[in-house]
Structure 1
Amino acid sequence: MFEAKFQSFADAEHGGEAGVRLKALRARLAELGLDGFIVPRADEHQNEYVAPCSERLAWLTGFSGSAGLAIVLKKEAAIFVDGRYVLQVKEEIDAKLFSPQELAATPPTRWLAERVQKGARIGYDPFVHTNRQIDAFAKALGVKRAELVPVQPNPVDEIWKDRPAPPLGAVRLHPARLAGKGVAEKLAELRRGFDGANALLLSDPHSIAWTFNIRGSDVAHTPIALAFALIPARGAPTLYLDGRKIRGEARETLEKVLEIAPAHNLRRDLEALGEKKKIVLFDQATAPVLLVEALREAGGKPRLVEDPAALPKAIKNVRELAGMRIAHVRDGLALTRFLAWFEKEALEGELTEIGAAQALETFRRESGLLRDISFPTISAFGPHAAIPHYRVTERSNLKIQHGVYLVDSGGQYLDGTTDVTRTVAVGYAARPLREHFTRVLKGHIAIARAVFPKGVTGAQLDAMARRPLWEAGLDFDHGVGHGVGAYLSVHEGPQRIARMGHTPLEPGMILSNEPGYYRAGEYGIRLENLIIVEAREIKGAERDMLGFETITLAPFDLNLVEPALLAPEEVDWLNAYHARVRNTLSPLADSETRSWLKKATKRLPL
């Protein structure tokens, strides 16, 4: 049963099923008078993880990645993915049916504009696209005087005869001892940013979970309930969702502060606000075109803004931070037990990528507190480790032998979310590999030790992690760090450490620190801990200063470290970190793990 998690959608597409589905979609488009249709990998909330009923792109094409888009025309079709999935998409789809395209090199708007005929009609489902997305397509098609046509129901849904039903995961209250703030306080905070608007529509389920102190189970890996919420400037908010999800104490408690309504009431309620010429705030990153235009067409004034809940959600309070620290001790113990086990098992030559991922999840589950893994485990040996977002399947599953193994994984616990990556050697590590590993480690340490003035953004810190690699003519193509939620999404904005990370870092924000290096066809290296932005007291400082507290606890593989490349202050940091890992985890570990941990965290000489 566990191994089914690693079975890609494409593995079930043999026998020409994708071709049958593509033919059926084209036939339906012809009936609708459409010349093409846009199929995003998205639900009505633009979630990273979607319910099975929203996996339209995977069902149609076989591609199982977490981001992508297909365009189907009468005579050709293409699928667009970012750099993470360039190799994966070629393995999963039939290139005779869908031409794989990299987003950066070939934007879908340009591809479509180059192929449409004058007056063509291209359909889209307005419930799974945002205004920003559709505006970009409309601008590109305008040159050819082609038309974008909103279509409902979704033609893919019409031909998907065994499409799963929408999820009915139970809504639960998130304990006050972990949430740290009450609903009333959060609503007041959001309303302070209304700037004359009459209401706010929350369309991101993560923001709804945070605002109303609830969690759900509608999608894998992230504890959210699929819902919308309308918050008026005055009066009780309305939560729109299938009422079967919320019962008992959760319903009784929530009905004291809000109204619960069926999801299909939302459009009607927005139209009623429109008829009164009301101003409603919409999250420009997640609000469906369908809802924005419903208000506009009724006479209302939609205002597209950044989600007002995103920033306060990102700045964790004292109780959220305390929970995250506790979760990381628990998770660090599980990962350390796995690393000790792995060192013995890998040398036997029979362990596979799937077997290693299974074992790590088992170690996490033995705590009795794991709710879910926080994302599909990246369990990658050798050349697979050079694919930053590799996802093992039954077909790709390698045996782990002498070389490099990378494992990027995390857990969802009631008190916190974890995300950690370790790269370890199996057998002897040659000097070039050790040098590459150590340069990545130097970049990791640079971020961990960073001290910076308040107001600095992640974009300004990004180069610190890259400098040791740049000095050797090397680099990596992903960001240094992303935001992380507190028992919410493992990928949270707006904070990040990346070239495009323009949000100032604030105390209480949690980010990943994960520089890497990837040698295609050979190996990959990534070293990831989670860090909390914290205030720093510096004697004589003329500005408010910030730094990072590292909360992930697990040893780095000293067999891959080239000590001569480390500066004394870097050795000091590594020794201090390993001492903290050892002192925190050893009292909680079994004797065998404790013995291994002592060796794995031995002190490096200066």
Structure 2
Amino acid sequence: MSFQTFDAPAGGGDHAARLAQLRARLAADGLDAFIIPRADAHQGEYVADADARLAWLTGFTGSAGFAVVTPDRAGVFIDGRYRVQVKAQLDLDHFTPVPWPETKPSDWLREALPAGGRLGFDPWLHTRQEIETLDKALADSGIGLIAVDRNPLDAIWTDRPAPPVGRARAHDDALAGETSAQKRARLAAQLRDEGQAAALLTLPDSISWLLNIRGSDVPKNPIVQSFAVLSDDGHVALFADPAKFDDALRAHLGNQVAILHPEGLPAALLDLEGPVRLDPASAPEAAFRLLDSANTRIAPATDPAILPKARKNAAELEGMRAAHLRDGVAMTRLLAWLDAQDPADLTEIDVVEKLEALRREAGITDISFDTICGAGPNGAIVHYRVTRATNRRLAAGEVLLIDSGGQYPDGTTDITRTVALGSPLRDAVAPYTAVLRGMIAISRARFPKGVAGAHLDALARQYLWSQGLDYDHGTGHGVGAALCVHEGPARISRASTLPLEAGMILSNEPGYYREGAFGIRIENLIAITEAESEPGRAMLGFQTLTLCPIDRRLIDIAALSRDEIDWLDAYHLRVRDGLSPHLNDETRRWLEKATLPLETSSL
């Protein structure tokens, strides 16, 4: 198990000295600039220590972003989630935060590099889509994109950790709802139908889903770091360290899955007969170049596992519901305990440790991400992670934001609750109510098949917009079933054009963040379901999976409509009925009070 620690995030050290070393290496390699992404070769949001290049160089530990280093500039490109965090983590004398995507990398590079400049990149760390987009944007600049054979940052990272060799395990077929052989046969039939001889899978969660395996290579994400080649006959060549697999797991995989060392992947790609399916949005540029060098025909198409994985079957949905029931018990016990304490006696770490202990009692195998527990101004840091250095004591009259989740054998959870510590903070009431109304609007939405997340995103923001407010993150991300808490491709965001489908599970988490004061976010997980519809017009809706009371002390009831009050009362009734049988008398009494109908309760 890899539960939360409270040391400073990885990436500590003399970043100015590392930057100087990298610049010297670039000069020796004949490069004028180099891109350092957050991602690893699998395009993972969460990376192993061996792949934390961006953090090692710059000190920035957010889960998205990249840096570009030139002889006299070092820009760290970050989106709105990290505007506060990045200023606290960078040595601003040597690294400059760059707001992205407002500032396009191509525009920044045109200013930073002369015509004829050589911009290096590691082709294993960037997708073809990324490189093609950047190349097109730089087309008339005279700046050349240079794929390096060896990453210059790796050359100077002399104490780089070894790649992870976490133990892999079988994922029960009953929880998966389908055997690996059935999944492989289904995807192989798709390859044959589309005239493809094989597909290269590069996303570890796709591979873990396909083979009904789970792993421990990356903290909080039960994936096996690997590549895989799926052939049109259902056989799989799995490129992963053989030390991860014991005899029982090899038997589970069967003789149609060959386990090969990762170093053999390039040679295997050169030997493939085409057409080979590759996803330009997730497969590394290096894979395309290897196949091109062998004159192997490439079939650009989405990862064949990504949509089947996102559409949860009945067994996966049942497992998620069961996991959310147990998780709701843990969260409710935490909130009841918190209400019984004097805030001044607690710190953020105390709350995190208490919640983790309660989740252990509920049966987690791990937490699903480092708990975000931000008191007062720390809550305004969207992806805040408490350390011993930042640990803040709670105080009456503040707002506390707790965003957390658990990995259970049968499901993955992700929940955020924002609570008042003592008397409600007056300034937080209006934005809290607007956030709540947006969350309810998504929860109640019905929409025709074919609608994408971008079409729904404004529903969550409308009440904030009416107050001149907004938030700089998506409204919802996909969630795996006993897999990664952030799962593509489905999202609720302005940028998501993928049609939503029944079985997909999303987060529903509008928020508001006032720098230096407080943060607000309310998050439930929701499953897309078939909805009642008129003949000829198929409709979808959402079923809420999360079971946990929502703090009513920050609600302006007068701002809610009758339908919104009814929704919240019905949700709280469902929470109370579902959780009460699993609570002791003291917590049950707290829950009964916390879930009273709005207009009959004393707020």
For the superposition of Structure 1 and Structure 2, which TM-score range results when normalised by the shorter chain? over 0.9
User: Which residue among 146, 153, 156 is the counterpart of 2:153?
Assistant: 156
1:297 matched to 2:293? The reply is yes
- The CA deviation at 1:420 is 0.4
Deviations 1:80-135 (A, max 9, x none): 11111111111111111111111123222221222222333222211111112222
Match of 1:266, SS state, is helix
- 1: CA distance between counterparts of 2:124 and 2:275? 21
Deviations 1:383-435 (A, max 9, x none): 22223222223333221112111111111111000000001001211554323
- 1: CA distance between counterparts of 2:352 and 2:507? 21
1:59 matched to 2:53? The reply is no
Does structure 2 conserve the Cα–Cα contact (< 8 Å) formed by 1:537 and 1:545? yes
| Aligned position for 1:533 | 528
- The CA deviation at 1:149 is 2.0
Deviations 1:524-575 (A, max 9, x none): 211111111111235x554222211111010011111222222222222111
- The CA deviation at 1:272 is 1.5
User: Which residue among 75, 78, 86 is the counterpart of 1:78?
Assistant: 75
Q: How does 1:435-474 map to 2 (within 5 A)?
A: 435-474=430-469
Quick one: structure 1 residues 599 and 544, their matched pair in 2 at CA, closer, same or farther if it must change by over 3 Å? Answer: same
- 2: CA distance between counterparts of 1:20 and 1:522? 35
- The CA deviation at 1:235 is 5.3
| Aligned position for 1:408 | 403
1:40 matched to 2:37? The reply is yes
Match of 1:559, SS state, is coil
Q: How does 1:382-401 map to 2 (within 5 A)?
A: 382-401=376-395
Q: Match for 1:383: what amino acid? A: P
| Aligned position for 2:244 | 245
| Aligned position for 1:207 | 206
| Aligned position for 2:10 | 9
- 2: CA distance between counterparts of 1:513 and 1:146? 42
Quick one: structure 1 residues 437 and 191, their matched pair in 2 at CA, closer, same or farther if it must change by over 3 Å? Answer: same
Match of 1:530, SS state, is strand
Does structure 2 conserve the Cα–Cα contact (< 8 Å) formed by 1:173 and 1:215? yes
- 1: CA distance between counterparts of 2:285 and 2:563? 53
Does structure 1 conserve the Cα–Cα contact (< 8 Å) formed by 2:478 and 2:505? yes
- The CA deviation at 1:244 is 0.7
- The CA deviation at 1:189 is 2.7
| Aligned position for 1:362 | 357
Q: Match for 2:304: what amino acid? A: P
User: Which residue among 112, 119, 123 is the counterpart of 2:116?
Assistant: 119
- 2: CA distance between counterparts of 1:408 and 1:529? 10
Structure 1 stretches of 4+ moved >6 Å:
none
| Aligned position for 1:424 | 419
Does structure 1 conserve the Cα–Cα contact (< 8 Å) formed by 2:185 and 2:234? no
Q: Match for 2:593: what amino acid? A: K
- 1: CA distance between counterparts of 2:459 and 2:135? 40
1:130 matched to 2:124? The reply is no
Quick one: structure 1 residues 6 and 152, their matched pair in 2 at CA, closer, same or farther if it must change by over 3 Å? Answer: same
Deviations 1:206-262 (A, max 9, x none): 110111111111001111011111012235221111111111111122132221111
CA RMSD of aligned residues (A): 1.9
Deviations 1:335-386 (A, max 9, x none): 11111111122x341312222222211211122x211111121111122222
Match of 2:340, SS state, is helix
Moved more, 450-459 or 62-71: 450-459
Q: How does 1:283-362 map to 2 (within 5 A)?
A: 283-345=279-341, 347-362=342-357
Does structure 1 conserve the Cα–Cα contact (< 8 Å) formed by 2:343 and 2:394? no
- 1: CA distance between counterparts of 2:486 and 2:90? 26
Q: Match for 2:491: what amino acid? A: R
- 2: CA distance between counterparts of 1:382 and 1:8? 21
Q: Which ranges in structure 2 are unaligned for 5 or more consecutive residues?
A: none
TM-score by length of 1: 0.94
Match of 2:567, SS state, is helix
Does structure 2 conserve the Cα–Cα contact (< 8 Å) formed by 1:119 and 1:145? yes
- 1: CA distance between counterparts of 2:142 and 2:558? 63
- 1: CA distance between counterparts of 2:521 and 2:384? 13
| Aligned position for 2:178 | 181
Does structure 1 conserve the Cα–Cα contact (< 8 Å) formed by 2:343 and 2:421? no
User: Which residue among 29, 32, 49 is the counterpart of 2:46?
Assistant: 49
Moved more, 475-484 or 318-327: 475-484
Match of 1:370, SS state, is coil
- 1: CA distance between counterparts of 2:141 and 2:410? 53
Moved more, 187-196 or 438-447: 187-196
Q: How does 1:220-299 map to 2 (within 5 A)?
A: 220-234=219-233, 236-273=235-272, 276=273, 278-299=274-295
Quick one: structure 1 residues 34 and 430, their matched pair in 2 at CA, closer, same or farther if it must change by over 3 Å? Answer: closer
- 1: CA distance between counterparts of 2:138 and 2:446? 48
Q: Match for 2:10: what amino acid? A: F
- 2: CA distance between counterparts of 1:76 and 1:433? 40
Quick one: structure 1 residues 236 and 24, their matched pair in 2 at CA, closer, same or farther if it must change by over 3 Å? Answer: same
User: Which residue among 155, 171, 191 is the counterpart of 2:168?
Assistant: 171
Moved more, 183-192 or 119-128: 183-192
Does structure 2 conserve the Cα–Cα contact (< 8 Å) formed by 1:109 and 1:137? yes
| Aligned position for 2:575 | 581
1:477 matched to 2:476? The reply is no
Quick one: structure 1 residues 446 and 155, their matched pair in 2 at CA, closer, same or farther if it must change by over 3 Å? Answer: same
- 1: CA distance between counterparts of 2:596 and 2:20? 62
Match of 2:374, SS state, is strand
Does structure 2 conserve the Cα–Cα contact (< 8 Å) formed by 1:509 and 1:533? yes
Quick one: structure 1 residues 435 and 29, their matched pair in 2 at CA, closer, same or farther if it must change by over 3 Å? Answer: closer
Deviations 1:464-521 (A, max 9, x none): 2222223333332322211111011111122122222222222111111112222332
Does structure 1 conserve the Cα–Cα contact (< 8 Å) formed by 2:398 and 2:425? no
User: Which residue among 58, 68, 71 is the counterpart of 2:65?
Assistant: 68
| Aligned position for 1:503 | 498
Quick one: structure 1 residues 435 and 34, their matched pair in 2 at CA, closer, same or farther if it must change by over 3 Å? Answer: closer
- 2: CA distance between counterparts of 1:212 and 1:170? 15
Q: How does 1:365-376 map to 2 (within 5 A)?
A: 365-367=360-362, 369-376=363-370
Quick one: structure 1 residues 414 and 235, their matched pair in 2 at CA, closer, same or farther if it must change by over 3 Å? Answer: closer
- 2: CA distance between counterparts of 1:595 and 1:582? 10
Moved more, 150-159 or 171-180: 150-159
| Aligned position for 2:483 | 488
- 2: CA distance between counterparts of 1:63 and 1:21? 14
Does structure 2 conserve the Cα–Cα contact (< 8 Å) formed by 1:6 and 1:354? no
- 1: CA distance between counterparts of 2:390 and 2:184? 48
Moved more, 29-38 or 205-214: 29-38
Q: Match for 1:594: what amino acid? A: R
User: Which residue among 537, 541, 544 is the counterpart of 1:543?
Assistant: 537
- 2: CA distance between counterparts of 1:93 and 1:283? 34
Q: Match for 1:295: what amino acid? A: L
Deviations 1:158-179 (A, max 9, x none): 2111111000011111101100
- 1: CA distance between counterparts of 2:453 and 2:558? 29
Quick one: structure 1 residues 3 and 228, their matched pair in 2 at CA, closer, same or farther if it must change by over 3 Å? Answer: closer
- 2: CA distance between counterparts of 1:299 and 1:431? 66
Matched residue count: 596
Deviations 1:14-42 (A, max 9, x none): xxx11221122222222222222211111
- 2: CA distance between counterparts of 1:365 and 1:381? 24
- 2: CA distance between counterparts of 1:510 and 1:76? 42
- 2: CA distance between counterparts of 1:296 and 1:3? 43
